[in-house]
Amino acid sequence: KLAQWAERYDVILAVENMAPGAIGDRSDELLDLVTSVGSSHVRVCFDTGHAHVGSEGLIHALEVLAPYIAVVHWNDNDRSSDQHLPPGRGDINWNAFFQTLLARAHPVYLSLEVRVPPNATLKGIIHSALSLIPRNAKVWM
């Protein structure tokens, strides 16, 4: 029913990959869910932090889900937990991430989903995060 609603109102319903232990924490399960609906209006919201703390690894999950990604929840962590750090403040390899995304996905939206650390400004975080995006990337924020 949700897919029919999304089609009727011409919106995208994006199902998010989740952190370990939650429904949707494995890319193959999420892929099965999205493709079984059979609607181009049901896609994936890819959370970089969730994928990075997951057992599959971020790049593997991205390779599996890339063709179905509509939006990326863009955040970082050090794999100890889902910290929602600004991109570049954890240990995600952003070069590998963007190379994989650009090779396999259509243009996507980036949604910066971070906790602003003390003594940081949102403007500074955005400026720093934007410097990680390759010049040839077709993304929207």
pLDDT digits (tens, 9 = 90+) for 82-134: 999 999 999 999 999 999 999 987 889 999 999 998 999 999 999 999 999 98
CA distance 62 to 67: 9
Identify the band that residue 139 occupies on the pLDDT scale cut at 50, 70 and 90: low
CA-CA distance, 87 to 66, in Å (whole number)?
A: 19
Identify the band that residue 135 occupies on the pLDDT scale cut at 50, 70 and 90. Answer: confident
pLDDT above 70 (res 140): no
Go through the domains of the chain in sequence order and give each one's CATH number.
2-140 (3.20.20.150)
Contacts of 77 (CB under 8 A, 6+ apart): 49, 52, 53, 83, 84, 85, 90, 91, 92
What does the pLDDT average to over 67-86? Answer: 97
Residue 115: phi, psi to the nearest 5?
-95, 130
| Mean pLDDT value across residues 55-80 | 97
Buried-state track 5-19, b at ≥16 Cβ within 10 A, e below 16: ebeeeeeebbbebbb
Query: For position 95, what pLDDT does the model report?
Result: 94
Question: pTM, whole model, 2 decimals?
Answer: 0.93
Question: How far is residue 81's CA from residue 6's CA, in Å, rounded to a whole number?
Answer: 33
Per-residue confidence band for 24, with pLDDT thresholds at 50, 70 and 90 = confident
Per-residue pLDDT band at 141 (split at 50, 70, 90): low
